[in-house]
Copies of this chain bind each other. A is one copy, B any other.
Amino acid sequence: MAHGNAPADDLPPALSEYLRNDPLAAHLGIAIDEIRLGYARARMTVRAETLNAHGVAHGGATMSLADTVFAAASNSHGRQSLAVDLHTEFLSAGALGEVLVAVAEELHLTRRMAVYRVSVVVESDGRRVAEVLARVYRRDDPLP
């Protein structure tokens, strides 16, 4: 099971396992805490290898965290869903050692498209780190 946390998912176990097998998330220390229909939540501790040249959390790491919950939430319906756009507003930078929490929520779902809002905050004090809007194209292909 990914990242040592017991899944609190309400998905079929094979789908949950498929979505949790996310190599980049593992490489960045992202723990997927929960996947439900149209919803996902994950955490990432800002580590030395996820900093940028200025010594704060790299925007790429923050966006990777956001993209991970976006992917989990949008694929939770069991159909292959491909990101088509992702817009990030950066609100503050995570500092070394801080735990960032990202939550993805479904705003809109049609046969071919779905749109999600992702909020990233610092776990300890609730400070907003980034706000994201993102969309998928939904293929007919079923996932495991």
A-side residues, CB < 8 A to B, are 18-28, 48-54, 58-61, 63-68, 71, 75, 80, 82-91, 93, 107-108, 112-113, 115, 117, 128, 131, 133, 135, 137
CA distance A70 to B123 in the complex (A): 28
Q: Judging by beta carbons under 8 Å apart, are B88 and A115 in contact? A: no
Q: A40 vs B51: C-alpha distance in the bound complex, in angstroms?
A: 19
Interface of A, secondary structure class, is: mixed
B27 near A54 with CB under 8 A, answer no
Q: A140 CB to closest chain B CB, in angstroms?
A: 12
Q: How far is the CB of A91 from chain B (nearest CB, A)?
A: 5
What is the chain B residue whose CB lies nearest that of A26? Answer: B49
Chain A to chain B contacts (Cβ below 8 Å), 20 pairs: A20-B53, A21-B53, A22-B52, A23-B52, A23-B58, A24-B51, A25-B60, A27-B50, A54-B80, A54-B82, A59-B86, A60-B68, A84-B89, A85-B85, A85-B135, A87-B87, A91-B107, A107-B131, A112-B137, A113-B137
A60 engages B52 (CB within 8 Å): no
Smallest CB-CB separation from A61: which chain B residue? Answer: B24
